[in-house]
């Protein structure tokens, strides 16, 4: 019995030993398999995870392409700046860290709040820019104390600068930080939210080529997230430089001449001037933008500089040499964080400095439109060079009376004398016989009523009305009276200063000149297609424009270009902003200078020069400037004089 019990015990112990041995072998196998899996099979994966703990991947900003004028003078470039970053992942208490940083460098409440908002909305591993304009002294203080701050780093970057200030602001536009809406439209911007994007002008139109491609670098960091060394992976690709057709020297002269007009500058230092400025809200808004030019008008009142636009084109190549819109603004304000007070000053300014009047300002062209009507009539066979109509000072049409600007009329007029003296009644008669459809067709051939394709965002199309246009937009039929009003460039007719310059260039050389702003190296002069207008008809219109400057009764005879420079051919325009009633006409029209500024007539002028071998076309609009002949024509003369003297 004892032996049997011993034998059973041995059998039981053997089974347990086998089970324990099997369990041990199984556990050892599982552990070995797991170790093999971790150390061999998944070695690469865990190596990468380890690297992520050791290395921080950062985006390398590309160098933005520069903008130059036609003589390679810098319009928009990049300057070194120093930035302060913070990475929330490596910061124990973000608020405390920011407060401590505020003892070393200047941090406003707005700076701190912006960082806190960015940290809440974005991933914790992404760097947040605390300041992007550190001074050398602040950088030195940070460098000494950097070991005390985990997750805080600083580096060098490039900041967009506009060395010409406001002079080319409407051409270059500006760069400012990426907005949330832009990220929604383009997800790739989310990787580089601290990089600016072009908002208007050439900066916006050529954003893709100017921006370049960002690179990537791995930075070895310690446990506090502080960089130890940089291992670059992919280099950034710089943006493409662009050369514009603008001549910044001509731009400067054109801007100064337009803004001063025919008025006298005043010194701001005297107490009498300071007292006058304190009472004038328009002047206060003007000076708040940093512009110290103040003028004195004929009534001895202090007024801001003239507002308006100037466009100068090379009629052979279509290159825009000068494109001025006044008032202007400093694009450097937008490259960093735009202060609320600066935005309010710009946005609430009574003369809207952010508007590019040259391409987006739409004005009734006034009498500068009379060349369109004359060409349409000659081509249609309605009139010839010698066709005459009598101007008695007004014309009756149904129950309406349409007046000429000259009370008492001009007498017998043909197309040349009508352009010379800007007779309205002759144009009324011609327009009624020609019809609005033919006038519209001619206007489009001359570049009115269509965007020019210059490539600046926000360019307006203007309006050349017709039967179909009015029915589609107002649901009413066209009337003969509207043809009369449209014939002198008023009513529904609208054009931009750029379109008026294109029209003038096409009249001068008989080709479909198209404006361009960006030059390409090695570009040949474009071969524009002909306008398909009878050269004889064009010659008649050119003769009328010549008489405007040189005829004994020409509306701009006192403002011709010097004969040594070849003279110029042009056309004046004066556009009513507020309708003159019959009662006001009988009482006597109040002079422009005695009206509130916003109710004065616009002054326009277009011209080409030299007369015999045209090279340049110009359009000038002086907002509420009064007479086109006495205000806009001398501006064009002075600009062309400077330009042609400079060209020799």
Lowest mean pLDDT among 192-196, 382-386, 541-545, 549-553: 192-196
The verdict on domain 58-244 having CATH code 3.40.50.10470 is no
Convert the pLDDT of each residue in 28-48 to its tens digit.
877 877 777 766 666 665 555
CATH fold match for the domains 58-244 and 308-647: no
The tokens 């007498």 sit on which residue? 411
Q: Delimit the domains of the chain by residue range.
A: 58-244, 308-647
- pLDDT on residue 32: 76
Mean of the per-residue pLDDT values of the chain: 88
Best CA proximity match to 428, nearest among 352, 480, 363: 480
8 A C-beta contact, residue 81 and residue 134: yes
| Predicted confidence (pLDDT) at residue 583 exceeds the cutoff of 70 | no
Question: At 164, is the pLDDT very low, low, confident or very high (cuts 50, 70, 90)?
Answer: very high
Contact (CB, 8 A) for 332 and 502? no
Residues 6+ apart with CB under 8 A from 633: 556, 559, 570, 572, 605, 607, 620
d(CA 393, CA 215): 72
The CA radius of gyration of the chain, in Å to the nearest whole number, is: 36
Range with the poorest average pLDDT among 83-92, 185-194, 612-621: 185-194
pLDDT score for 603: 97
pLDDT per residue as tens digits for the range 537-581: 999 999 999 999 999 999 999 999 999 999 999 999 999 987 766
**Taking residues 1-13, what's their average pLDDT?**
63
pLDDT-based confidence at 49, cuts 50/70/90? very low
61-70, 94-103, 347-356, 478-487: range with lowest mean pLDDT? 94-103
Task: Let me know: does 518 contact 455? Beta carbons within 8 Å.
Answer: yes
> Using CA atoms, how far apart are residues 614 and 70, in angstroms rounded to an integer?
21
State mean pLDDT over 414-437: 97
Phi-psi region of 422 (alpha: psi -120 to 50; beta: other; left: phi over 0): left
DSSP conformational letter for 511: B
CB atoms within 10 A of CB 481: 16
Mean pLDDT of 204-231: 76
308-647: which CATH number, 3.40.50.970, 3.40.710.10, 3.40.50.300, 3.40.630.10? 3.40.710.10
Please tell me the least confidently modeled range out of 294-298, 352-356, 374-378.
294-298
Least confident window among 115-129, 212-226, 323-337, 487-501: 212-226
Compute φ and ψ for 346, nearest 5 degrees. Answer: -70, -45
Residues 365-387, mean pLDDT to the nearest whole number? 97
The predicted structure's pLDDT at residue 486: 97
User: Of 156-160, 559-563, 609-613, which range is least confident?
Assistant: 156-160
**Taking residues 271-287, what's their average pLDDT?**
80
**pTM of the predicted model, to two decimals?**
0.85
Q: Cα(196)–Cα(179) distance, rounded to whole angstroms?
A: 9
What letter does residue 597 receive in the DSSP assignment? G
How large is the average pLDDT for residues 439-458?
96
- Whether the pLDDT of residue 592 is over 90: the answer is no
């Amino acid at each position: 019995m004892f032996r049997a019990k011993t034998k059973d015990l041995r059998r039981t112990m053997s089974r347990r030993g086998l089970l324990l041995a099997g369990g041990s072998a199984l556990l050892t196998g599982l552990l070995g398999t797991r170790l093999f899996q971790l150390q061999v099979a998944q070695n690469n994966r865990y190596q990468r995870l380890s690297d992520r703990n050791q290395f921080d991947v950062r985006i390398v900003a590309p160098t933005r392409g520069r903008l130059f004028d036609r003589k390679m003078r810098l319009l928009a470039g990049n300057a070194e700046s120093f930035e302060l970053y913070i990475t929330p992942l490596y910061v124990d208490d973000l608020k405390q860290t920011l407060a401590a940083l505020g003892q070393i460098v200047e941090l406003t409440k707005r700076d701190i709040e912006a960082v806190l908002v960015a940290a809440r909305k974005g991933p914790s591993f992404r760097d947040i820019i605390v300041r992007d304009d550190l001074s050398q002294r602040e950088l030195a203080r940070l460098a000494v104390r950097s070991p005390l701050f985990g997750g805080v780093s600083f580096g060098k970057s490039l900041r967009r600068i506009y060395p010409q200030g406001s002079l080319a602001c409407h051409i270059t536009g500006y760069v400012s930080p990426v907005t949330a809406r832009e990220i929604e439209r383009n997800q790739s911007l989310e990787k580089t939210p601290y990089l600016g994007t072009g908002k208007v002008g050439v900066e916006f139109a050529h954003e893709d080529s100017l921006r370049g491609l960002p690179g990537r670098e791995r930075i070895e960091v310690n446990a506090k997230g502080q960089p130890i060394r940089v291992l670059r992976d992919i280099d950034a690709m710089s943006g493409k430089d662009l050369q514009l057709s603008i001549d910044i020297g001509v731009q400067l002269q054109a801007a100064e001449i337009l803004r001063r007009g025919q008025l006298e500058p005043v010194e701001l230092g005297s107490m009498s001037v300071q007292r006058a400025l304190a009472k004038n809200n328009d002047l206060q808004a003007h000076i708040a933008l940093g512009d110290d030019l103040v003028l004195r008008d004929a009534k001895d009142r202090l007024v801001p500089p003239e507002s308006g636009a100037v466009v100068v084109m090379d009629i052979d190549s279509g290159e825009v040499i000068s494109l001025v819109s006044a008032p202007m603004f400093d694009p450097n304000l937008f490259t960093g964080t735009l202060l609320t007070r600066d935005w309010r000053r710009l946005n609430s300014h009574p003369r809207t400095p952010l508007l590019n009047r040259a391409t987006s300002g739409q004005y009734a062209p006034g009498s500068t439109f009379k060349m369109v009507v004359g060409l349409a009539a000659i081509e249609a066979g309605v009139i010839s060079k010698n066709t005459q109509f009598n101007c008695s000072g007004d014309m009756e049409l149904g129950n309406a009376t349409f007046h000429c600007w000259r009370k008492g009329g001009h007498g017998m007029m043909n197309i040349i004398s009508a352009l010379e003296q800007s007779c309205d009644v002759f144009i009324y008669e011609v327009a009624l016989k020609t019809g609005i459809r033919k006038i519209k067709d001619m206007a489009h051939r001359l570049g009115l009523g269509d965007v020019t394709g210059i490539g600046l965002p926000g360019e307006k199309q203007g309006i050349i009305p017709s039967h179909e246009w009015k029915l589609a937009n107002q649901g009413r039929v066209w009337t003969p009276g509207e043809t009369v009003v449209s014939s002198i460039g008023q009513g529904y007719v609208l054009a931009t200063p750029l379109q008026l310059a294109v029209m003038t260039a096409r009249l001068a050389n008989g080709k479909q000149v198209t404006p361009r702003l960006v030059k390409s190296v090695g570009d040949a002069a474009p071969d524009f297609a002909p306008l398909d207008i009878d050269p004889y008809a064009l010659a008649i219109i050119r003769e009328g424009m010549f008489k405007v400057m040189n005829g004994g009764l020409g509306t701009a005879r006192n403002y011709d270009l010097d004969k040594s420079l070849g003279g110029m051919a042009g056309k004046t325009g004066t556009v009513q902003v507020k309708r003159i009633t019959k009662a006001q006409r009988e009482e006597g029209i109040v002079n422009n200078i005695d009206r509130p500024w916003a109710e004065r007539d616009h002054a326009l002028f277009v011209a080409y020069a030299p007369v015999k071998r045209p090279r340049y076309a110009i359009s000038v609009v002086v907002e509420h400037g009064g007479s086109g002949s006495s205000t806009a024509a001398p501006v064009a003369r002075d600009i062309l004089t400077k330009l042609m003297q400079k060209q020799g």
